[in-house]
Every structure is written in C-alpha cells, then in structure tokens.
Structure 1
Amino acid sequence: MLSCEVPLTPDQGEARDWLLKELAKGEYGEIRGPIVGFVKNLIDDFFELLSWKGQGAPPISLILAILAIIVIAALVIVLILNPIRLARRRKSGAVFEEETSAPQVQASFDEAVAAQDWNLAYVWAYRLMVLGLDDHDIVSSTPGLTAREAADAATRVAPGLAPQLSAYAESFDQVRYGRAAVSRDEVDALRSFTPVLLDLCSHAKDES
C-alpha cells in the first residue's frame, strides 16, 4: 500500500522569503491592500501547514488544505496580479515633458546622430514624427501626450499603417525608459516612415 506523505520541498524559509519578496515589488504598489494581504496570509498558512510535526503520516485534510492554498494563491497571482503587472509595463510614456519647437527637436536629433547615440536619436525621431502629426492637426504635441495616443490618433487617419505605428510607439516606450536598445537602421526606418505617414495624413485632410 502506498503511504500518504508530504513531498520533499526546498528550504521553507528561503521559499517563503522568495514569495514575499515577489509581492513586495513595485508593480504591486497600486494593489498593496486586501489582495496582496490575502496572498501573504495564504503563504503564511501554507508554510505553517508544511511545518506540521504530528506523529505519523499527516491527515488527508492537511494535504487537501495545502493543495487548496496552492491553487488559490496561483489563481490570484495568474488572474489578478500578473495582468496588473503587464498593464503597468504596457503603459505608454509621454512623448514630451515640456513645450519645445521643431527646430529644437531637429537639433537634438542631429546631435544624437552625430554622437551615434541611436537610442536617443530614436526618441528624437519619434518626437519629430509627432510634431509632424501636430502640423497636420492629427494630435496636439503638448506635454502629457503619450506615444500610444499619438500612434492611435495617426492610425485613425492612416489605418493601413497601424502595425508600423503600434510598433514604433512600443519601441519608443521601450527605448525611452531603458528597456531596449535600437540600431541606426531602426532610426533610419523611423525617419523614412515619417514622410510616408505625413503624406497620407495630408491626403486625408484634403479629402475631408
């Protein structure tokens, strides 16, 4: 007959500390109330059950309780916490932090290219595109306008360029906040794309 035994686990103290450290991450800052507290309580209950030191094999009720805690904690993390983390990561950043002019942006772009700082050049190239959209009354390039908002506005005018606009907005956010790097070819691609987009915007304005 098979005996019913709790399977061997890693060091319980380290495992508990790892889980609590995960919940302490900044991504959960906006939900640090009842949900995170609930998960922490589940973790504490789980490791308390694992430390059971009764004689003989643990009762079936104990094992079922452990399994229930694992399932509930997993569901909370997968269905609630992870989507919130992903939403925060996907949040688009502002294109401009302050009022600026096209000559200033162009000069900053040229300086970045001269320095072969392709990440910075990409950021300024996207800003030049947004200023072009502003010239065509597609967006208002005021501080606070996000890269995603600019791409969405342009998509409504040039729906055929939606994939490129979405990709460029995503790249801007990734590069702007140091989560990715780009090459000169990618900067050149954005600069080549901009006049194509603005030409479509111009035609759409003439037809309206």
Structure 2
Amino acid sequence: MRAEPPLEPTPGEARELLREELDHPAYTESDLLERIRSWLADLFEAGAEPASQASQLQTVLSMVALVLGVVAILWLLTRLRRDGSPAAGRRTLFGEEVVPAVELRRRAEQALAEGRHEAAVVDGYRALALRQIEGDQIDDLPGSTAREVAVQLAEAYGDRARDLHGVAQLFDAVLYGHRGASREQAEQVLRLDDGLPGGVRR
C-alpha cells in the first residue's frame, strides 16, 4: 500500500489560517455595512405603512412640528452661546462687583501703599474705566472686557490711545494671566486715571 502524502497545512494550521482570514477587516466592514443597510430598510418599511395611512393634515402637522423643533433647538444653541460667553472664559472688566469709581481708586492707592502692586493695577484700571462711564465719556456696556473699554476710550482720547491699550493689556496679564506687576506699572495706571478728563476725585 502506498502511504498517503502528508496534509499541508495540517488540520490545526488550516483552522488557524481560516480564522485569520475571517478576522480580516474587509469581512467585518462588509458585515457592519450590511447590518446598517438592513436596519435602515426595516426602519423605512416600518414607517411607510403608518405614513401611507395618515391623513394629509396629519402629515402637514408633523412636518410643521419638526420644523418648529429644529428652529427651537437652533435658537437655544444661539442663546447659550451668547449668554454663556462670560462663563466660557470671557475676561470681563468688573465681574459681579458693584463699587463706585472713587472707592476703587481708594483701594488702588491703599494697595500701592502696601506694596500690593497687582491689586493696585486691577483696581486702578477699573477705577479709570468706571470714572469715564460715570462721567458719560464712554458707554456703559455690561460685560465689557478691558480691551473693549480701551477701544472706546481710545476713540474718545486719541492722543492717549497707546497708553490706554497698554494698561488694558497689563490689566488682563495681571488678573487673568497671573503675572506680577511693578510699582512703576501700578503708578502708570493711576497717573493715566489722573490725566483723563474727570480725573481722580478724592
């Protein structure tokens, strides 16, 4: 009797090769796409019969409700974007505090005397901006940033535009960037407040 030639690959190796072939992404993707196609087809067929039995009025009302729903969602998204901007990190000038300019200036001078130069910069610039608002030199826009106030002030006092933008940047760097401030920088803010119309009132 002739010996049968050995099987190559062996049964175990053949099973392993088949498993590797079936694990190929092409089979998985094809199966996934087929499942999605079948699910969409079933969904369409399930909705087709009730839709065909619905009256024209019901169809119109459903479409109107859908449009109104989309409009409502878009409106809510725009409101959240607009109203949520401070919470998202908008660097407002005054925050929630309501203090007259003269009190802010007093606090800035006290901070300067105590060597707290960062606090002097922050309260000094707030005093400067609020004094101009109180004197109707610029508009009172709730939620304004230091930069936006500087833009308004620069339009009113063009010859001081560079200084105004400089102290606004300093304010942001100190309050929001946690940068240090020197005595000279704090004094610069207070001098600018003194030099603008309506200067410091003690």
The structure with more radius of gyration: 2
